[in-house]
Structure 1
Amino acid sequence: MAVIQKHGKSYSPDLVCLKENHPPDKTGVAGGHKKCPEHHTNWSRPVARVWTVVLLLGTCLLYCARVAMPICAVSMAEKFNWTKRESGMVLGSFFWGYCFTQVFGGYVSDRVGGEKVLLLAAAAWGSMTAFTPILAHLCSQPILSMTLARFLMGLLQGVHYPSLASLCSQKVVESERGFLMSTVGSGSYLGTLLIGGAGSLMLDLYGWESVFYISGFMSVLWAYCMWKYLLKGEGPLISLESLGSGGSQSKLTKRHWLRLFKQRAVWAVIVTHLCTASTYFTLLSWLPTFFKESFPDAKGWVFNVIPWLVAIPSSLFSGCLSDHLISQGVDTVSVRKLMQFFSMGVSSVFTFLLCGNTTFLWAVAFVSATMGLTTFSHSGVSVNVQDLAPSCAGSLFGVMNTCGAFSGVIMVYFSGYLIEATGSWASVFALITTVNLLGLFTFLAFAEARRVDIDSSPGALVLQCFLPPSLVRTQPRPWLCLPPRGMQWNNDDGATK
């Protein structure tokens, strides 16, 4: 590895290359050389702020539409005479659909742009939400129509987070990704709070249909405003030609994917995200039952609201902190590991404290601390995938989220088995702590922040150097070129000869 020093100082590592002065090689893939991918223009800071707010609202509405069915499930079960098993089938069908479009959504986003996928998906799942009551009343078998509707809802919403990851990797500079992802991620907690409060009120006053109508209408309105004012009315249609050509992103072959999955850092983010998602789904699913059984006289709004109120500012703080540390020169991988340490390490301390006998107030405090610290992963493993593979961040995040969703479903069921077998909630909280620590140790041991999606085919050479940040920012990304003809790199001093 070539090292460049200036005035006795070594600069932080990054990938750079020098371009040939002769006309670029046009042989393409068939000729054995890859053309340098097109450079993506990052958003300016004012534009990034606007997009951050818009994506925050979109994620908020995503969760409003997602949680509408759980809120209305009891009323719908009474209306259509559903059993507990039938209600569970309707609610669970969402997650099976959610698993199947993660990778596909990321792949399409990497090809044509995450903003187009977000727009089309939001218009689709928003319309599906608004038409849910109509489908329920028109169909002679509401249980079948609602199960299918929830499955389709999962399919459509499954592309959301991979598209966000792809869009962020393409348009946001490294030092600002943490804040954007943590801010947008806080929309999930905000949406849960809004639909829990306003949705419950609409349910009591106007019936369960109103919850779906309002959530769906607001989602479609958000998609229209995004298309009208941010995309300037550009056609959101995705052509087969754009999928085949790979858009503005470099098209990765099977060999590139095999090489990518040989990287320890890639498996580190997959395993860590798997552990994070599974423990989060378990807490989300079982905490209300834990409070109701352990503290039957407690008010539900306290333990259903306070942890999410803590999670929102905590998520925003983690993003500001991570971006500030990176802008101050702290190594990116160290920042990612620090954020994940808070998310999985420190939060596990409070989760483990729930194993003992606690009062209601202490239990709420421990759960709030756990949920708040868990949000630090938005600036940890969730952003690290963009550090590793910006050219296919959406696809790789889709792989991560698919694994996380499947493991979450399995761990939720296994936790229920533990509760029945042991009769104690301590076994569940001990399981969550163990899984969190496993993911944390994996991330601390193997996580990196260097790019691993760079082409290493014969004839292509990537030079890894230490350069001042001012020079590094002037280089097009990703840096993949050939040395000048008749020259070769000297790995001792970085010069050519």
Structure 2
Amino acid sequence: MLLASADRTIFAAAALSLKAELGMSMKDLALAQSAFLWGYGVTQLAAGASSDRFGGAKVLLGGLCVWSIAVAVTPLSSMTTAPVLAVVAARFLFGAASGCALPASAAAVAAHVPAERRSGALSTIFALFNIGSAFGLAAAGSLITQFGWRAIFYGFGAFGAAWAVAAYAAMPQSVKTFVPRVPKVSELKDENGEQMTELSSEVATQLVALLWCHVVVNWGFMILQSWLPVYLANDLGMSIASSGILGALPWVFTAFMSFSSGQVADKLISRGMERWKVRRLAMNVATIGPALGLFALKYTTTASVALACIVATLGLQAVAVAGYHSYLQDVAPSRAGAILGFTNTVGVVGSIVANMVTGASVEATGSFQATFLYTAAMYASSCFVWNAFLKGEQLFP
């Protein structure tokens, strides 16, 4: 997960260098960012189902190997007659291969971690994911100025492929041979113990609510991950090196919040607080906090205040690890990977729209203010939906 995030953010850090060297416009950059998301979305359902069926750990390492190759070949786009299209193709392949990261991780936790420790396990995974964002931005921001943007892609790609091979070789045999048992439809029971032949309206309503909340999680996260270095350089006038280093700071705090929120959630549960109420509390923090942070960010032009708003926004949205992601483990452990794959697929479509709208908006207005405002409104709507419809009812065993 650390490498999945780091490999995403090195493109964001190198975006302005690619733009200058390959003659790309802001809309071209938005297209490249969206190509990653198109690939990412295409494989979500298959990755989720495969992780539930064959084991998340194996699926994750296979994806890591392929997406690292896609990262390593990205610089070759400059040698083609259509470099922009080549970048878009490389980003699509990277997205398709890395689409397994979240559902495979969710399936692995559901299969191997006891229920009372899942918040902590997920928070650790997402903390590493956010550390990857910080590491990728900090490393790329400084190394690009010394060695050029190509070296970043070659180095990260080669390391990721080698890590995948080494990790699989070191994997315990029990994990390699583990095959999760997914209950058949004929085995599913409702709250009265009767066989479920189709989804009830209550279950369908909860799935739709989960779907919208995940759309918002993806929407806000992807915009900030994809465009943060560009915002710091474009709106605040920072250099590539400084925007990469300063852009890494919010992700360090995000990693801390991811980890600590899971630990706090597990402690609250151990003290007798109902799981669904813990998840609701986490989601209130993860939606109201970012909404306020982004609303404030729209009205500031001071670098220090803007950075404080970004740190708060990213850190507070990370508490969703103890909310949304842990909630799936509680109400649908046997289908956590598949459901996450489904909701993430739709969430990715929203992220694609968000990236394209962001690119067009920034090119037209010269700033990110409109982007911050509509994203804040979406976070507020997610808070309402969660509190209205998600109250811990079991979806699947």
Same fold (TM over 0.5): yes
CA apart distance, 1:260: 6.6
2:261 equivalent to 1:318:
yes
CA-to-aligned-CA distance 1:269-322 (integer Å, 9 cap, x gap): 211111222122233445545544554379635741332222121111111101
CA apart distance, 1:252: 4.2
1:112–1:248 CA contact under 8 A, matched in 2? no
CA apart distance, 1:424: 7.5
Instruction: Report what 1:183 is aligned to.
Output: 124
CA-to-aligned-CA distance 1:224-260 (integer Å, 9 cap, x gap): 2321222349868x9xxx8xxxx5222448x979517
TM-score after normalising by structure 1: 0.69
Please tell me the residue identity of whatever aligns with 1:101: T
Please tell me the residue identity of whatever aligns with 2:159: M
CA apart distance, 1:159: 1.2
Please tell me the residue identity of whatever aligns with 2:100: V
CA distance in 1, matches of 2:312, 2:326: 22
Instruction: Report what 2:199 is aligned to.
Output: 259
Structure 2 CA distance for partners of 1:77 and 1:222, relative to 1, 3 Å: same
Please tell me the residue identity of whatever aligns with 2:183: S
Q: How does 1:192-341 map to 2 (within 5 A)?
A: 192-232=133-173, 248-252=181-185, 258-259=198-199, 263=203, 264-292=205-233, 294-296=235-237, 300=243, 303-341=246-284
Q: Secondary structure at the match of 2:199?
A: helix
Q: CA RMSD in A?
A: 3.1
2:342 equivalent to 1:390:
no
CA-to-aligned-CA distance 1:425-479 (integer Å, 9 cap, x gap): 554433222211111111112113342124xxxxxxxxxxxxxxxxxxxxxxxxx
Bigger mean CA deviation after superposition, 112-121 or 219-228: 219-228
Bigger mean CA deviation after superposition, 405-414 or 309-318: 405-414
Structure 2 CA distance for partners of 1:252 and 1:149, relative to 1, 3 Å: farther
Instruction: Report what 1:490 is aligned to.
Output: none
Instruction: Report what 2:389 is aligned to.
Output: 446
2:250–2:314 CA contact under 8 A, matched in 1? yes
CA distance in 2, matches of 1:360, 1:76: 25
Bigger mean CA deviation after superposition, 98-107 or 141-150: 141-150
CA apart distance, 1:154: 0.8
CA apart distance, 1:98: 0.8
Instruction: Report what 1:374 is aligned to.
Output: 317
Instruction: Report what 1:169 is aligned to.
Output: 110
2:137–2:244 CA contact under 8 A, matched in 1? no
2:140–2:244 CA contact under 8 A, matched in 1? no
Q: 2:4 aligns with which of 62, 67, 85?
A: 62
Bigger mean CA deviation after superposition, 160-169 or 171-180: 171-180
CA apart distance, 1:81: 5.2
1:336–1:384 CA contact under 8 A, matched in 2? yes
Q: Secondary structure at the match of 1:354?
A: helix
CA distance in 2, matches of 1:224, 1:248: 26
Structure 2 CA distance for partners of 1:207 and 1:332, relative to 1, 3 Å: same
Please tell me the residue identity of whatever aligns with 1:171: H
CA apart distance, 1:195: 2.1
Bigger mean CA deviation after superposition, 392-401 or 430-439: 430-439
Q: Secondary structure at the match of 1:259?
A: coil
Aligned length: 386
Structure 2 CA distance for partners of 1:219 and 1:252, relative to 1, 3 Å: farther
CA distance in 1, matches of 2:275, 2:390: 11
CA distance in 2, matches of 1:399, 1:301: 33
2:229–2:244 CA contact under 8 A, matched in 1? no
Please tell me the residue identity of whatever aligns with 1:305: A
Structure 2 CA distance for partners of 1:212 and 1:425, relative to 1, 3 Å: closer
Q: How does 1:461-480 map to 2 (within 5 A)?
A: none
2:93 equivalent to 1:160:
no
1:174–1:387 CA contact under 8 A, matched in 2? yes
Please tell me the residue identity of whatever aligns with 1:105: A
2:365 equivalent to 1:365:
no
Please tell me the residue identity of whatever aligns with 1:429: F
CA apart distance, 1:343: 0.5
Instruction: Report what 2:285 is aligned to.
Output: 342
CA distance in 2, matches of 1:229, 1:261: 45
2:26–2:359 CA contact under 8 A, matched in 1? no
Please tell me the residue identity of whatever aligns with 1:113: G
CA-to-aligned-CA distance 1:312-340 (integer Å, 9 cap, x gap): 21111111101111111110000000111
CA apart distance, 1:142: 4.0
Bigger mean CA deviation after superposition, 350-359 or 170-179: 350-359
Structure 2 CA distance for partners of 1:384 and 1:169, relative to 1, 3 Å: same
Q: How does 1:51-130 map to 2 (within 5 A)?
A: 59-76=1-18, 85-130=27-72
CA distance in 2, matches of 1:92, 1:304: 21
Structure 2 CA distance for partners of 1:261 and 1:419, relative to 1, 3 Å: farther
CA apart distance, 1:395: 0.8
CA-to-aligned-CA distance 1:177-199 (integer Å, 9 cap, x gap): 11221221122322222222223
Unaligned runs of 5+ in 1: 1-58, 455-497
CA distance in 1, matches of 2:362, 2:69: 39
Normalized per residue, which structure has more helix?
2
1:415–1:428 CA contact under 8 A, matched in 2? yes
Structure 2 CA distance for partners of 1:83 and 1:291, relative to 1, 3 Å: closer
Larger radius of gyration: 1
2:120–2:259 CA contact under 8 A, matched in 1? yes
Please tell me the residue identity of whatever aligns with 1:93: A
